[in-house]
Each structure stands twice: as structure tokens, then as C-alpha cells.
Structure 1
Amino acid sequence: MRRAVISSFRTARRSAFRKVIQRSSLFSRAENVLRPFSSSARRYSATHQAAFMRLPRTPLAIVGGLGAIAAYVSYKGPSLQQQSVPVRSLTTDAPTASPTAPVTSPVTTHDRKALVVDNDQFFTGQIVGDGPLAKNTDDRGRKVLEMMTPEQATERLRKNEESFLVGRGRGVVRYDVVQLPSNDPIEDDKAEKIVEVPNTVAATINDAPSSDWMFWGVFDGHSGWTTSAKLRQALISFAARELNTTYKAALSNAKSPFPDPASIDQALKSAFLKLDHEICNESVEKVFKNPSKRLGAELLAPALSGSCALLSFYDTTSKTLRVACTGDSRAVLGRKNPKTGKWFATPLSEDQTGSNPNEEARMRAEHPGEDHVIYRGRVLGNLEPTRAFGDAAYKWSKDVQEQIRNKFFGRAPNSLLKTPPYVTAEPVVTTTNIEPSKGDFVVLATDGLWEMLTNEEVVGLVGQWVEAQNNATSPAKSSSTAWLTSWFSSGNTPSAASLPVEKGGNMDKTGQVSKGQKQPNDQSADTPIRQQQWQIPDPHSASRFVVEDKNAATHLVRNALGGRDRDMVCALLTLPSPYSRRYRDDLTVEVIFFGEGEKDGNDGVVRMNEEATAKRGDTDMKAKL
């Protein structure tokens, strides 16, 4: 019977996935090899698979309930002997008969589901019985797991969420944060800091005693976590130090006590470049002076791995938000149109990858005559981001790389390496005037989110969340939602059947802004690559989304993973590393809400928002440097 069950599964699987493969344009006709479906997961090509974590070559669509699945559960009967009960197909309500099943009493069936991982796709089916799975692989080596329940999935989604209420009365009222690992350990990191700046450093308005510099950063690591951890520790401090020097210098200016915009931008750029110089160059000087492999492992680790960085800097005096972007993490502004009651999505950064025409043109101008400086959308055919911290293999000369390889560790230099450095940590800085009284908000996220949702969907989802919180809780009942009231005091209320967002604010991985138009049958025109990978039936339908979380960042992640489709959410969260990496990246999301705040709550204190923060001990998802 067991063989018959497996045979049935194999037959259904073959016919179904022939259709999936025919629909998926994953093959390279020129070389007859499979390329990574996701352009961002991870950063390196298959030619360096021994040295780098990468996306397997054939990620296909998620399929549920195709035939019977050869997974088994065990339980203790009256004689305390283990009995095998087969998995039931999702296509029928009747359990498959088993010659070994006990006949003395009926088996109680619960809504339990199995997840079978088979290389580049996975399948779901229902489990019959009360016992645990008898084994974690089947006879073909496929990994068999019991899928999370919706309650367990929610617990995992909220495990690392945090929310803070900012009672300083200076333009920011709240920010929500969440992280969800896919790699083990997670390669993303983050940092937030509010610095009170006295008037001896920065000029103030109306004789105010001080102003605030507020920083939020998300760091998308690759080939390890050490570079992103270094950015968490040091980048904001480097930025604050450079800004301090710039603002102090402006106070002596008789014409204006404020620095000019170009000087502030340059201060942020200098901070990025000085930190990367410390990571990639000063570390080499130190280990060459003291050639210890132990010291080398400690100092060179952040240089050998890499990380994108997205740092936002808000000056409460000028009400300007600067976003410094190195890599392909993204910041998007949500601003409400009072006439329509909807928000408009405005990208505040541009994805800096080899697929971006602007970045490709810059790279070719800096390295004339090198045809492979950008090859297949990647730097020297391997690295996707054109700007990053670390990634010293694209910055060190061949001589330095050979010395490090001989004295310590490492790999041979890329054969295409001619005129390094190819990759820079210098950010592109944008400036935006914030209007706190109108309820502006900004979403910062690593590219794992933007692979799943468009800019418009993200802004619309936050707007949907704000509306739901406002309708559910009155200001008198909860101080954490009191700041929401003024956002909906005027203007039209969007229909619940659609996301409250206006069209025209989407941006793809190349940095091109879409106007919401596409050719017939051209799903890729404005559909994120993970939605294409998962074969979402109706990716443009707002019915996919749901509001279940008190934390706005968690709300975004839940809907990125499937939203109303609970089976998809549970399946994607059940997959362990490294299997999960084929379907989703590490996720780090921050949502910053601007506003005037309540007068009674402006006591200068930043409080933990308990209802939107995970209740956990002092734990961390990964080791610290």
C-alpha cells in the first residue's frame, strides 16, 4: 500500500510540474543551464557556489495537494506500539486505508498538514492521526515536516517585532520594526537611535533649547552576517560624528547658522566611505603588521562578507528626511491625499544593482574597455549590488588578495579583476520635506520585502492598517493609537474592497518608475519576482490582504508572505534554512510614522509600545561581533 501511495504521488507530480516548467521561462537557451529565478537572492552566481550561499538553480511554483504524499505519523495505541497512519490527500476527505492501522477504535482527525520539500518545490497534504511524524525524510530523501498552524505562524511572525512611541513632540510619533530570518543565522541587521542635539552644535528655531537627530537603518548582509553586524554597531555613530562637525562649522557662518544641503549630504557620504575604509583597508594594514590567523579572522570577516545599507536621517528642526542608500534596500514615502483619502507612494531611493541602467552606465564609464564589468546584470558576472560595504574581493587588488590568501585564508581573485575597486560604499542621498501634520510615513526595508510587494502595495497596506487601527480603538481606550485620529478626521474614507493607495508610485529593480500600465499578459511589468515565482493567481487583487497585527511592520511581512492565504503563510514559515532561502529572503522592515503627537504625551520619553512588541527575554537572532 505504501508503494502505491508513493506511485500515485509521483504520477501526479510529473504531469503537474511539466506544465509548471513549460510556463516558467527559467532556462538559458544559450548555455542550457538554469539561472536563479530571483535576481537578488543571493548575490553571487553558480560559479562560486563553494564559497557563497546562493539560490538553488530551479525554484518553481508552490503547489499544494498533488496526489498522495508519502509521509507518516506515529502514535501509541493500547499496546504502546507505534502504528503508521498515511497522509491524506487534500483532494479528498476520506483517509487512505492502511493495513497496519488499528481497527479497535477510530482515528481522531485534526486539521494537521504535512509539508514535503523536494529540491526546488514543496507540497502540502493533510495528516491523519494524533501522533508526531514518524520520520523527517521519505524514501526518496525528500524532507517531511509538519506544517505550522496559523497560531504558530503568527507567533513566529511576531517573535522579533518591536514598537516604540516617541513622546518628544518633534515630528515623529511612532516607529515599528520587525525581522524575520530565512538564513541561519540571519544576515540582515538594523539600528535606530535618537540623538538630542544642543544648540551649541545645531541652530534651532524660536529659541528652542535643542533639536533631535533621528536615525533608522536597515542593513542587508550577504555571504555572512559580519558586515551587517559591523554596520549596526558603527554606522550611525560615524554619521553623527560627521554631521556634528558639519553643523558646528555652520554656526560660525554669519549668513546662515544652518549647513547648506550639499554639506549635509557630503557628511553622510563621508561617514559611509570612512567606515568602509576601516572595514576593507585598515583591517588589512593591521593584520599585515601582526600576521595572526586569529586576528585575521576577526578583522577581515566584515571585509570578506558584504552588506547593503539604507540609513535615514531626520532633522526635527528643518523637518527634512535624508535617505542614504548603498545597495538595493529601499525607502518609500507614504503621503495622504486629503481629497481622495488615499496615499501616494514615492520612492526615496533607487535600487543600485547591475540591472539598473544608471548604475551600469556609471560602472562602464569608470572602467572603460572592460566588457564584463557588468555581465548578466552583475558586477564581473557575480555580485548583484553595485554599491556595498565589505565585498573586498571587488575592491582589493590581485596582489593584496593573493597575500591574504597565502598568509591567512580566502580564495583566488576573480579572473576578470583588472582595475579595482569596482564596488563602492558611497551612497546616493535624497532629501524630502516631511509634513508631520499630514501623517506622512516612511517604510524602510531590505530587498526581501520588495521582492514580494510593490511600492504601491506596501504604502496601501500601511494605509489599510492605519484605518483598521483607527476604527478598532478610540483614543480614549488606548494611548498607543491616539495619534491616528487626526489622519482620518477629514477627506474620504477608502473602500474596504481596495487598498487606499493611488496608482503611479511603483518602482522595479532597475530604478524605473512604473505608471501602473502594462501590456496584456505581461505579468512581469509590475509584479514582484516572488509573486511570479509563487504563481499568485490574481496578484493585483486587494482581497489577498488581511489586517491581523498591531505592529505595522509585522502586518507588511504577513501580507508579503501570503496574507489571507494562510496555507501559504504557514508553509513559507515552516520551511527551515536552507530550504526557505529558495522562496524568501531575510526580512527587515521599519515603518516610521510622522505626526504632531498628543500634547499630554510629549514628555520627552520614548516608550516601548507593549501591544505591538513581542514578549520575550533578552535574546538575539544571531551572534554579535
Structure 2
Amino acid sequence: MRRAAIQAFRISRRSSIRRTAGSKSTFNFLNHGLSLRPAASVRRYSSAPVSLHSSMYFRNFSLAFVTSLVAGGAYYAYTGDGPKQLLRTDAADSVSPPQTRALTTTSNAFAEATGKPQHPPLAAAATEPSRRAVVVDNDQFYTGSIVGDGPLSKDTDDFGRKVLEMMTPAQATERLRKNEESYLVERGKGVVRYDIVQLPSNNPIEDDHAEKIVQVPSTVAATDNGAPSSDWMFWGVFDGHSGWTTSAKLRQVLISFVARELNSTYKAALTNTVSPFPPASAIDAALKTAFVKLDDEICLESVNKLTKNPSKRLGAELLAPALSGSCALLSFYDTRSRTFRVACTGDSRAVLGRRNPQSGKWFATPLSEDQTGSNPNEAARLKSEHPNEPYVVHHGRVLGQLEPTRAFGDAFYKWSRETQDKIKRHFFGKTPHQFLQTPPYVTAEPVVTSTHIEPERGDFVVLATDGLWEMLSNEEVIGLVGQWIEKQNSAQSNSSSTAWLTSWFNPSKPHLPVEKGGNSGKSGLTEDNSAAPIRQQQWDIDHANEARFVVEDKNAATHLLRNALGGKDRDMVCALLTLPSPYSRRYRDDLTVEVIFFGEGEATGNVLINRDATAISSNGELKAKL
């Protein structure tokens, strides 16, 4: 969720002066030698206070990372505990002139600060093998190099900082691709491929996802002029919070709930003498009904069952999905009508990419609207439903705490005070919120949008949890997929598995092939294009610099993931992937991304694993999902 990013960003706006307690070291970092800090300032190691920046910056990650680990890792260079290793800056890692100044006084500075014997200067150790490393210091982290090939002897140094060997670019790529999946859809019904990837930040990951293709017989849904049966295709991403159990429940049963409601709706339409096809409003209502029924089962039926059979063991099983929560973004594609519906509960997002044949670029059209307390529409709805409750939306959050205004689970915002007291008394729970007056405040009912898909124009849709949209804008995401298609078309134009890519693009251009301004206004849904995503603000990334992106992956979802984490800036990618939970949560959320490609593909009736873009285990089988 966006909560950690916003809190870190707010903290960064407060000017402060920070010093290392008890340190007399004279280490002086270069002006832009600190990176990825949600802290309020650059920490300098000196004997006197210094003026500090009043906002958080991310300055040239690949250049800045290499200068700052000296103080954090000097412990390993000079203590007698374990192998002698020296943390140093490496001029070879830098290309900017200010960064080529190696800190050659490290040993003298450390001796002055600690009273330990002086050791040879950095130059003496420069010929030793070196590795990249990360130091995690509460709300900041630094990177640099470790000289020597011995293992780290401790997790933390004398200052309580966690020291980690940073992943190599090859290891980072392996991590990025660990959970990628790709499928070639050869059913001749408008969908040709979909790619998926997940990257955890929480441990265990709180995101989940589900996909399903249902062949619909004529006894359920009518077809045009005796055409063969149609397909219902579903893709869903579920962004859990306060635990993983709610999102796991959605993965297991949400599509089944929706399919049952659609089955009833389509069957009822068959008896209609005017039209054998259900109206759009009936299909939208079926999606909403399915969402609400499932949430009632999670939050209400679980309590009813426990009332009849009170058992803490049963309570743990039944109440877990109610006590945690999850956003849900489910898409439904009817191949007969070529209508793509998005049912959104929460702040995950779907965006359509459609090519402009005149310019050869893509339009970015949002298909969902983030449902949070910061959304004026959602805030107005809650205030109208709960009049005379000034704190129903407070600081952009429900009752001042929960960011999404629509979600599954989150029963503490849905149960009455009486029910919450009973749960706490007989099972487990927490004291009802002080502002709780007229629940429920949070609903699982989705907002449903519909879009007619044009496979001949190479339409594609990106579904992702909010962790991606914290890092990349709608236009950047659509432009990146367009860039990826260009690269695939250029590299594999003769491959049958990618023939559907042919002729969509002109030769590759230096900028992302996306129309600025997109189609945001035409969709009825808007994106604030004036503000960079929260993580780009946190890291001080130049929003206009499209040269920071790279194409290295055969899976389109992994391609988005890599560029969200830094793209060409390999130090940034490696460091963000090295950070362990819970530290990583300060800088990135769990990430789940799906990319659905439409087109006129083969019609063998099969759905095949695309092994070129799927993580395969050593025995040749598809790796298990997280």
C-alpha cells in the first residue's frame, strides 16, 4: 500500500540536524553521496553540526551509491572479529568527476574516531577482490564496496546498522524473474498472450493474483449466428494489507463467485424474446453482487458460524480473512462482445494501451479510479453516508487509519461495536476504534467500467497493485510496454510465437512511444499528470528523463518491474532487491503486475506456457506461485 511511502515523504519535509551519537569521526560524504533516504536529511559524520537538506532526495543512484559505506562498514575493516575486510568507495564505479575522489583518509579517520591502530590506506587494498554491499541504518541506507572475499562475520556493526552483501546484476535479474509467468493463448478469440510477475516486499507477500479462462456453452450464453461457444476470461490482482489471508481467499474463490453470478445472468437472458444477450447493466450488477456476497461470507457469515459453534480453533480459520484486508481488481473479458470490464475495489489500477495508427504511439487510458480517502468522490460518498461524523475521513483515511475506502475484509470497519466486543471477549481482536459510530464504513462493492477492445489495433491492458503506480505513471507504464513490443518485434519478427507483434511499430525511437496527455479525459477517469509518482518524488528522479529505461526481459510484466525499480541504474535495482523485509517496505511495496495482449492469433484452442518468459524449475516444471 501507499501508506509507508506517504509517511516517509511527509517526514522528509521536516528539516532537522542529525549527528551520530558519540562519534568523533571526520568522515565527510560528498554532497550527493547519500541515496534513497526517507530521512529528513543527509547524515554527515563530523565533529560539528552542519546544515542539512530539508527534503528527501534520490540523487543519481548509480553514481551516488558508491561513496557512503565507508563509515558504516569500517568496523569490518579494523576489528579483530572475523576476516579483515575493508569497506571503501571505488572510483571505477563512478563516471561523474565529483565522484572520482576516493576517500583515502578512511583508516586515519577511523583511528581517530575509535583509537584503533592505523592500517594501510585504501590504495593498498585496491587490488583485493571486492563486492558490493548495503548498510541499513534505521530510516536510511548506503551502498559501497567490500574488499576481500571472506564472509561477513556479523549482521550488524558497532552502530547497530545491518550490513548486507549487495546482489550482483545477475542475481538481481534472477530475483526479478523468479516468479514470472507467461502464457500464449491460441483460442482465436482476441487474446494472444498474458504475462505475470510478482515481487515480495513483505514476508510473506501480501499480494495475490488469479487467472481463469472459462469456455461457455450455448446453453449458458447465446452466440452470434451459430458461432462456436464464447470464452469468459478473468484476470485479477489482489493487494492485501495487515496480512495475506484475505488476498489468498480472493485468489481461491472470487472468480468462482463471479462466474456463478454471470452464469445466472446470461441464462436468464436466453429466455428474453427481445434479445438473448444480457444488458450491460445486468452484467455490471452481477459483478457487484458477487463481490458483496463474498465479502459478506468473509465478514458476516464467519461470525454467524462461530456463534453456533464457538471454538477458538475454528475462529482462527474463519476470522483470519476478516481481520486482514485486501483490495481487488478483477477484469472480465467476454470474447463474443469483445467487452472488457474492470471491477475495482480499492486502489489497484488498470490502464489500457491503444495504438494511434497516425503517430505510431500509444494512448494511456485508465480503466479504474483509485478508491482512497484522498479521492474526492470517495470522501464525499462516505461523508454523505455518515453525516455528523467529522472523522469519517481524516487525513485522507477512513477514521484516520485505513487508506482504501473499498476493500474485502477489514471487518473492524464493518462490524458493530457490539460484535467487535464479542469477538475480542470470546476469541481475539482489538478494542473498537474510538471514532466508530455507524459501521460499515468500508464496502467491497466495486466500481465497474466497460471498454470495447479492438484487437486489430494491438490493444493491451496492464493490471497492477498500487506498488507499481507508486513508482511509474500511467503514461510511463504504457510507453514502457510499447517500447518492449518494439524490441520484441525487432528481435523476433520471424518467430511464430511473436508473429502477432509484426508491423505494430516503426523502428525504435529514443523516447517512450506514448502520447503525452494520454486518453485520461476521454475515459471519464483522471490521472494527475502534474505530479510524479510518490516514489519518484522520494528518490528525486527526473520524471522527464526517459533515457533511464531499459529493455532486458522477455516477460513484459518483468520489464515493467525492472524499470519501476531503477531501469538502467543497476545499483538502484540491486540495492532495492537486496534490502530485506521489513526494511524494504520503507522503499517499495509488494508488487504484482499483469499485462494482457489482444490481437488476432492462432486458433488451436490451446493455452500454452511461454517458456521463454516463464520461471521454470530445474525439473522443467512451472515454478510454484508465491
The reply to whether TM is greater than 0.5 is yes
Is the contact made by 2:197 and 2:594 (CA closer than 8 Å) also made in structure 1?
Answer: yes
- What residue identity is the alignment partner of 2:360? G
Letter in 2 for 1:68: V
8 Å CA contact retained: 2:76, 2:87: no
For 1:60 and 1:276, the matched residues in 2 are separated by 44
Deviates more, 1:202-211 or 1:372-381: 202-211
SS in 1 for 2:225: coil
Note the residue ranges of structure 2 that are not aligned, 5 or more in a row.
1-20, 31-41, 91-98, 108-116
Matched, 1:7 2:25: yes
User: Which residues in structure 2 correspond to 1:568-579 (within 5 Å)?
Assistant: 568-579=572-583
1:108-507 alignment, distance < 5 Å: 108-110=127-129, 112-475=131-494, 478-488=495-505, 493=506, 496-505=509-518
Q: Equivalents in 1 of 2:384, 2:595: separation in Å?
A: 37
The one-letter code of the counterpart of 2:558 is T
Structure 1 residues 512 and 602, CA, compared in 2 at 3 Å: closer, same or farther?
A: closer
Conserved in 2, the CA contact under 8 Å of 1:61 and 1:121?
no
What CA deviation, in whole Å up to 9, does each residue of 1:62-117 have, x standing for no partner? 76223723326989xxxxx95412201245457755856799x9774445211011
Query: Matched residues in 1 for 2:281 and 2:121: separation?
Result: 78
Instruction: Indicate which of 517, 527, 531 corresponds to 1:526.
Output: 531
Cα displacement (A) at 1:615 = 1.6
Q: What per-residue deviation string (whole Å, max 9, x for no partner) do you get for residues 236-258 of structure 1?
A: 00000000000000011111010
- Number of the residue aligned with 2:68: 66
Q: Secondary structure at the match of 2:70?
A: coil
| 1:23 maps to which of 29, 52, 55 | 55
CA contact (8 A) 2:487 2:508 kept: no
Contact 1:107 1:129 in 2 (8 A): no
CA–CA distance in 2 between the matches of 1:20 and 1:211? Answer: 63
Residues 67, 19 of structure 1: alpha-carbon distance in 2 compared, 3 angstrom cutoff: farther
Distance 1:459 1:11, change over 3 A: closer
Which secondary structure state, in structure 1, belongs to the residue aligned with residue 502 of structure 2? helix
Q: Quick one: distance in 1 between partners of 2:499 and 2:69?
A: 52
Instruction: Tell me, in whole angstroms, the C-alpha distance in 1 between the residues paired with 2:515 and 2:266.
Output: 38
In the superposition, the TM-score normalised over structure 2's length comes to 0.85
One-letter amino acid matched to 2:539? W
Q: Does 1:513 align with 2:531?
A: no
Q: Deviations along 1:171-194, whole A, 9 cap, x unmatched?
A: 000000000000000000000000
SS of alignment partner, residue 22 of structure 1: coil
Question: Which one-letter code corresponds to 1:88 in the other structure?
Answer: R
- Partner AA of 2:504 in structure 1: W
Alpha carbons 1:504, 1:515 under 8 Å: kept: no
Q: Give CA-to-partner distance per residue, 1:18-74, whole Å, 9 cap, x none.
A: 76651349xxxxxxxxxxxxxxxxxxxxxxxxxxxxxxxxx9997622372332698
Tell me, in whole angstroms, the C-alpha distance in 1 between the residues paired with 2:561 and 2:131. 24
Could you give the per-residue CA deviations for residues 497-532 of structure 1, whole angstroms, max 9, x where no partner exists? 110000113879xx973585xxxxxxxx32000011
Please give the alpha-carbon distance, in whole angstroms, between the structure 2 residues aligned to 1:71 and 1:204: 68
CA distance in 1, matches of 2:614, 2:132: 29
Decide which of 582, 587, 597 is 2:586's aligned counterpart. Answer: 582
Q: Distance in 2 between matches of 1:391 and 1:191?
A: 21
Distance between the aligned counterparts of 1:303 and 1:506, measured in 2?
38
Q: 1:275 to 1:515 in 2, by over 3 A?
A: closer
Aligned residues: 562
Which residue number corresponds to residue 49 of structure 1? none
Q: Which moves more between the two structures, 266-275 or 8-17? A: 8-17
Task: Report if the CA contact (8 A) 2:520-2:527 is conserved.
Answer: yes
- Distance of 1:364 and 1:61 partners within structure 2: 44
Q: Distance in 1 between matches of 2:605 and 2:74?
A: 58
Instruction: Return the alpha-carbon distance in structure 1 between the equivalents of residues 341 and 548 of structure 2.
Output: 33
Distance 2:75 2:179 in 1: 32
Determine what percentage of the aligned residue pairs are the same residue: 68
Q: Distance in 2 between matches of 1:472 and 1:512?
A: 36
Q: What SS is found at the alignment partner of 2:178?
A: coil
Stretch of structure 1 that moved more, 422-431 or 493-502: 493-502
Letter matched to residue 25 of structure 2: S
User: Partner letter of residue 487 of structure 1?
Assistant: W
The match for 1:543 is 547
* Contact kept? 1:61, 1:533, Cα under 8 Å: no
Q: How far apart in 2 are the matches of 1:535 and 1:486? A: 37
2:556 equivalent to 1:556: no
Does the CA-based 8 Å contact 1:72-1:134 persist in structure 2? Answer: no
Residues 162/15 of structure 1: CA separation in 2 closer, same or farther (3 Å cut) = same
- Is the contact made by 1:71 and 1:114 (CA closer than 8 Å) also made in structure 2? no
- The one-letter amino acid of 1:566's match is R
Partner residue, 1:85: 85
Instruction: Please tell me the residue identity of whatever aligns with 1:422.
Output: Y
CA distance in 1, matches of 2:22, 2:571: 27
Contact 2:69 2:88 in 1 (8 A): no
Question: Are the equivalent residues in 2 in contact too, given 1:73–1:131 (CA < 8 A)?
Answer: no
Task: Say what the alpha-carbon RMSD is for the aligned residues.
Answer: 2.8
> What displacement does 1:14 show?
2.8
1:123-165 C-alpha deviation (Å, 9 max, x unpaired): 1111112222222211110111011000000000000000000
> Is residue 466–residue 484 contact of structure 1 (8 Å, CA) maintained in 2?
yes
Amino acid of the structure 2 residue aligned with 1:70:
G
Give 1:611's aligned residue: 612
Distance 1:190 1:409 in 2: 28
Q: Does the CA contact (< 8 Å) of 1:505 and 1:515 recur in 2?
A: no
- 1:591 corresponds, among 588, 591, 595, to 595
Instruction: Give the whole-Å Cα distance in 1 for the aligned partners of 2:282 and 2:508.
Output: 45
Partner deviation per Cα, 1:540-573 (whole Å, 9 max, x = no partner): 1110100000000000000000001110000000
> What's the TM-score once normalised by structure 1's chain length?
0.85
CA distance in 1, matches of 2:415, 2:162: 41
